[in-house]
Amino acid sequence: ETGVTQSPTHLIKTRGQQVTLRCSSQSGHNTVSWYQQALGQGPQFIFQYYREEENGRGNFPPRFSGLQFPNYSSELNVNALELDDSALYLCASRIAGGSYNEQFFGPGTRLTVL
């Protein structure tokens, strides 16, 4: 186990709704990244937070937003859900400047948009 947890495990929403996914990082990990993994694909980088500030973003629209809290937890918020948002959402935590760039993934939240 990586020590990174995510909730909920599964979630079903309808198009247009909003969703909040949660992640609890390993203690001491000051950096968290969120990824979207569509079925049969590799994870795609959404954004990264370092010390509660967003410091990197992939090719995702602004309706994908996040928060990082001092207690090593973080949130991914998605507004105006679209059918294509159905995917496994992964968070990964690490220590910035730590050994290589090693990051540890949580088990993911499976989001289904109907």
Partner 1 sequence: QQQVKQSPQSLIVQKGGISIINCAYENTAFDYFPWYQQFPGKGPALLIAIRPDVSEKKEGRFTISFNKSAKQFSLHIMDSQPGDSATYFCAASPANTGNQFYFGTGTSLTVIP
Is residue 46 within 8 A of residue 29, CB to CB? The reply is: no
Can you state the percent helix, strand and coil of the chain, rounding each to 5?
5, 50, 45
For partner 1, which is the closer residue by CB, 55 or 112? Answer: 55
Binding window for partner 1 (CB under 8 A); candidates: 13-21, 34-42, 70-78, 79-87: 34-42
Restricted to residues 54-93, the positions that interact with partner 1 (CB under 8 A) are 55-56, 58, 90, 92
Query: Which ranges of 68-112 does DSSP label H, i.e. alpha helix?
Result: none
- Rounded Cα distance between 1 and 69, Å, is 22
Return residues touching partner 1 (CB under 8 A): 2, 4, 6, 31, 33, 35, 40-45, 48, 55-56, 58, 90, 92, 94, 96-97, 100-108
